[in-house]
Amino acid sequence: MISFAHALRLTLALILGFATFASTPHALAAPDAAPTFRSAKPVWLEGREREMNLTVGFSATVPKPASATVTLRLTGVILYRIFVNGQFAGHGPARAAHGFYRLDELDITPLLHAGDNVIAIEVAGYNANSYYLLNQPSFLQAEIVADPKVLASTAGAGRAFAAHVVDDRVTKTQRYSFQRPFSEVWRLTPGWDAWRTIVTTTTTTPELAVQPTKTLLARGVPYSRFELKSPVRQLGVGAVEIVSPPEKIWKDRSLTKVGPTMAGYLAADLTTIPSIELQSVRTLPSAPVPATAYTGAPVTLAVNSWSTFDLGVNRTGFIGAHLEVRKATRLFFTFDEILVDGDVNFKRNDTVNIVAYEFAPGTYDLESFEPYTFRYLKLIVLAGDCSASQITLREFTNPDAWRAQFASADPRLDRIFTAAQETFSQNAVDLFMNCPSRERAGWLCDSLFAARVAQDLSGTHVVEKNFLKNYLLPEKFAHLPSGMLPMCYPADHDDGIYIPNWSLWFVLQLEEYAKRSGDRATVAAFRPRLHALLDYFKPYENSDGLLEKLKSWVFVEWSQANKFTQDVSYPSNMLYASALAAMARLYDEPALATKAEKIRDVIRKQSFDGEFFVDNALRRDGQLQVTRNRSEVCQYFAF
């Protein structure tokens, strides 16, 4: 879980000493003021706010004012994408803690034309636990304002938003991964998206019910630019054949360990699930396509055929394409960050890297609802006949990652720097994530290193502030012991699993944040929460003052070191001492500094064998016996 961020910091350490910041203007997030709606109220289809994987389309028709700026103000659960006259205009909201909702405010004036304009908002309410999005009742709260007038709103002044179920998206699908909610399966007919452009004067929608009042927060972070990227080349075309399913069908935790929330949700016939069906599809060998640039020209895909494309680098965003469907077609977009034996393995990283479509004959412009990460995209047609053109990925990234500039006489260093910017931009959209693909989760520890890189690349700490404050806002964290911080957040830890020692990274990051930002108010607000964390650890202190027999998942690193975490984990205690010392400095509490030094002295006496630090000690017959387990990462913790 320290993968991308730690690597970024190490590779950038020397380079960034010579980086400069772009002098061109850039859009910073608005101040952290208390946002509000002029008139709108939160709404959802009556009685269906807890329905799983329900997608609802909201639309309102408004005239373009003669001169005023037109602002779309909105928030909701869980995700939405915005269209103005059928043109993509945004994706949100930024994530927040349980019971809090970040407000988006978009100037849509440049997208309006004379006369009536259709503003459409497509909202997915998942109602499922995950590491990525919170399990909270679905709603949308939105208004369109041209000061001082409210042109349209949900259950407020102006024209009402009309609503309908977007039943083109299949509701009963497997999860994308154990850590993320539902995968995408669509069944489309021509005109399925006409609601995004049809002018209507609807003023009442009786099926909508007003939901409880929401606590609003400022967005706090910049908006993605949503730039469109095309593949650089087409890698191959060929045929597939249907074969017998493998003797052992791959089923990851998204099917087998989905927890009580998902119990009984999927259909009993798993063969209808894309990740199961595609395991009976074999790609036949074929000659590669000559290495020519991809132009967006149509690629014909008949029954049992495939075509693969290369974006040149890993990117994160929304998959798009234009489809001409001549016969009823079943099309699968599969994708991954690497090729395995020259092919895309959609299940390589314990994910379901598939977006599945069924089409009636007609013309379609597609874009996935969820963001995905890949370099290689493979289209597979198992029925029908179609042509795909204008294949794109709409990037979902942090634009401030590109403020820093670097150039050297060594092109290898330049490539490392550019790769670091790409990696960071995809992992820091609204909070610091450990990866933008399988999890999209805000993990502690990763966030400490990512925050350092954020300052280096963007010159700001706005994403870090959002990340930290999400940990401050809830009164308590469900399913966790009193005082414990979640290992990643915002997330639902319904199984009660936590990493006790991972909470200590939060303290180290908060101290660094204080130095970077000067934000003493946020630091002071965390004091009771951090003391509650120390109270959690006190019962685990042994007679030597070391933490012993920590519960749940004691994690050090994805290596052999994870086998050396009981009964006394010296890396965990090294981290404990660092956290105590950090709190001593943050809050001027010298007693904590004294305690930290005593722990360090005990660790040096017990763990250091004259050459290296040993990872752990075991309690046998009442005596603590130091092992001979010595890992590389333990030495880093000691440093």
Where residue 80 sits, what CATH number does that domain have?
Answer: 2.60.120.260
Whether residues 275 and 189 share a domain: the answer is no
**Segments of 127-232 assigned E as strands:** 139-146, 149-153, 159-160, 162-165, 184-188, 208-210, 215-218, 228-229
pLDDT, tens digit (0-9, with 9 covering 90-100), for 47-58: 999 999 999 999
Tell whether 150 and 268 lie within a shared domain.
Answer: no
Same-domain status, 207 and 278:
no
191 & 316 share domain: no
Average pLDDT over residues 238-251: 92
With respect to residue 612, please indicate whether it lies within any of the assigned structural domains: no
User: What three-state secondary structure class fits 91?
Assistant: strand
Q: Verify that 248 and 339 share a domain, yes or no.
A: yes
Residue 490 inside a domain? The answer is: no
Domain range enclosing 381: 228-395
Query: Is 112 among the domain residues?
Result: yes
Are 205 and 353 part of one and the same domain? no
The backbone torsions φ and ψ at residue 12, rounded to the nearest 5 degrees and listed phi first, read -90, -10
Extract the tokens encoding 12.
């950038």
Please check the confidence at residue 203 and state whether its pLDDT lies above 90. Answer: no
State whether 286 and 326 are in the same domain: yes
Q: Give the count of domains, the chain.
A: 2
Cα–Cα dist 259/179, whole Å: 12
In the predicted model, is pLDDT for residue 108 greater than 60? yes
For the range 514-519, what are the long-range contacts, defined as Cβ-Cβ under 8 Å and sequence gap of 24 or more? 514/586, 516/451, 516/455, 516/461, 516/464, 517/461, 517/464, 517/465, 519/461, 519/465
Domain boundary among 218, 249, 283: 218
* Cα–Cα dist 166/132, whole Å: 23
Residue 284 and residue 212 share a domain? no
pTM for this predicted structure: 0.93
- Claim to verify: residue 361 and residue 387 sit in the same structural domain: yes
Q: Does the residue 349 lie in any domain? A: yes
Q: What is the mean pLDDT of the chain?
A: 92
Angle (deg, nearest 10), helices 3-15 and 446-458: 40
Burial class (CB in 10 A: 0-12, 13-18, 19+), 621: exposed
In a domain, 161, yes or no: yes
Instruction: Give 446-493 as a DSSP string.
Output: HHHHHHHHHHHHHS--HHHHHHHHHHHSSSS-TTS-TTPPPSBSS---
Assigned domain for 201 exists = yes
Q: What is the CATH number of the domain that holds 256?
A: 2.60.120
| pLDDT confidence band for 549 (50 / 70 / 90) | very high
* Chain centroid offset of residue 447 CA: 13
Say if residue 87 is in the same domain as residue 167: yes
Q: Is residue 25 part of a domain?
A: no
Residue corresponding to tokens 């927060």: 217
Q: What is the tens place of the pLDDT at every residue in 595-639?
A: 999 999 999 999 999 999 999 999 999 999 999 999 999 999 999
| Token pair of 22 as six digits | 């772009």
Least confident of 99-108, 280-289, 619-628: 280-289
**Final residue of a structural domain among 218, 237, 252:** 218
Tokens of 406: 């670097």
Any idea what the Cα angle at residue 367 is, between residues 286 and 327, rounded to 5°?
60
Orientation of helix 462-472 relative to helix 503-517, angle to 10°: 130
Question: Tokens 């995905």 appear where?
Answer: 372
Q: Which of 334, 368, 395 is the last residue of a domain?
A: 395
Among residues 479, 475, 477, which one has the least CA distance to residue 494?
A: 479
Instruction: Judge whether residue 298 has pLDDT over 80.
Output: yes
Domain shared by 294 and 199, yes or no: no
Residue 620 lies in a domain: no
- Express each pLDDT in 334-364 by its tens digit: 999 999 999 999 999 999 999 999 999 999 9
pLDDT over 90 percentage in the chain:
86
In the structure, what pLDDT confidence band is assigned to residue 24 with cuts at 50, 70 and 90? very low
The answer to whether the beta carbons of residues 32 and 128 sit under 8 Å apart is: no
Residue 58 and residue 174 share a domain: yes
- Residue 386 near residue 329 (C-beta atoms within 8 A): yes
